[in-house]
Structure 1
Amino acid sequence: MTRLRLHIFTAMACVAMALYSCNSDVVYDKYNHTQLTGWEKNDTLAFDVPPMKESGRYRLELGLRTSTSFPFTGLSLVVDRTVEPGHMLYTDTVNCRLADDKGNVLGRGVSCFQYSFIVSDIDLRKGDSLHICVRHIMKREIMPGISDIGLKISKR
């Protein structure tokens, strides 16, 4: 009887995962690693998003993973995106609040923290692709404690 329950549970889990993956509006989700010892100001992280399969409105989100060695309560980033074809360049500045006024971390996690920030909503046509570059604009040249920067694009 226990074996039958295990098979039923496994089948239900597979069906649930299949249904969830079919309904997901995420079209791109990738993280790029930075040196935990320090992300240099001139180190730009690049993301190449393949052509969109359909026209529509998309949400661009920035993911951030930090360690406890990150010394600030906030981080300022510049997100440059080039839409091809047409070579249209757009620039957004994202001010990431990572801790409250008392120093309490706002991210999820224990020793490593995960954050997500909305950059913008963008209109794309079928066949449009994106080249996105992310860099920090903090006064400090080397930014320690940032392990990954990610980019997620989902259909609205």
Structure 2
Amino acid sequence: MRKILGLLAFIFLFSCNSSGEDVIMNSVNNKWGKKQEQKFNLEISDPQNPKNIIFVVRNNNEYPYSNIRFIVNFTNLQNKKKDVDTLNYVLAKPNGEWLGTGFGDTKEIFFQYKLNYKFPEKGKYEIGVIQAMRNDNLPGIEDLGVKIETAKP
């Protein structure tokens, strides 16, 4: 019994997130409306260290396409400067098999947004994401998130 408890404690300690990563997830409840901007608020305390900004998408078999398009509003809340990007990411192979990881119907996949990005100053930032697909209500997307990690040199 002690060996099992020791092993569980070991797994718990090493599975904790200690590598400078933050993940913010929003649930879109399998029906992402075209006008429902998903907002992610960031607090940057160490702008001298470059960051990787990564989108996290969880989709299921109800999603009707092999790709997803985003319109991203990246705003520095200190000076209100806004950058707008239109992005296209692939969710499935040509044969229809979903990319990403996961068991069952739900798959999770990571998409690079900004790599080695150096925030201009510390403070608050906002990332707003709008789905830019043809559907007014996009089925099959369960969650959307943003992962911020310290870039490795």
Per the shorter chain, which TM-score range?
0.7 to 0.9
Q: Which has the higher helix share?
A: 1
**Equivalents in 2 of 1:14, 1:101: separation in Å?**
38
**Given the superposition, is the C-alpha separation of residues 14 and 115 from structure 1 closer, same or farther in structure 2, using an over 3 Å criterion?**
closer
* Structure 2 equivalent of residue 79 of structure 1: 72
Partner of 2:147: 152
SS in 2 for 1:140: coil
Code of the residue aligned with 1:32 in structure 2: it is N
Paired with 1:129 and 1:113, the residues of 2 have a C-alpha distance of 31
RMSD: 2.0
1:7-156 aligned at under 5 Å gives the runs 8-10=6-8, 12-13=10-11, 15-17=13-15, 21-22=17-18, 24-26=19-21, 28-36=22-30, 38-109=31-102, 110-121=104-115, 122-125=117-120, 127-156=122-151
State the AA in 1 paired with 2:150.
K
Separation in structure 1 between the aligned mates of residue 12 and residue 144 of structure 2, nearest angstrom: 31
CA contact (8 A) 1:52 1:124 kept: no
Q: Aligned pair in 2 of structure 1 residues 92, 5: CA closer, same or farther (>3 Å)?
A: same
Q: Could you tell which deviates more after superposition, 135-144 or 146-155?
A: 135-144
Structure 1 unmatched runs, 5+:
none
Hey, what's the Cα distance between the residues in 1 that align with 2:48 and 2:79?
16
Q: Evaluate the alpha carbon distance shift between residue 85 and residue 74 of structure 1 in structure 2; reply closer, same or farther with a 3 A threshold.
A: same
Distance 1:8 1:42 in 2: 50
| Residue identity (%) | 20
Rg bigger for which structure? 1
Q: Which runs of 5 or more structure 2 residues have no equivalent in the other structure?
A: none
Contact 2:20 2:150 in 1 (8 A): yes
Task: Please tell me whether the aligned partners of residues 58 and 143 of structure 2 are also in contact (alpha carbons under 8 angstroms).
Answer: yes
Summarize the Cα distance change of 1:139–1:21 in structure 2 as closer, same or farther, 3 Å threshold. closer
TM-score calculated relative to the size of structure 2: 0.85
The separation in 1 between residues aligned to 2:44 and 2:81, in whole angstroms, is 15
Change (3 A) 1:15 1:108: closer
Alignment-mate amino acid for residue 16 of structure 1? F
- Runs in 1 of length 4+ with deviation above 6 angstroms? none
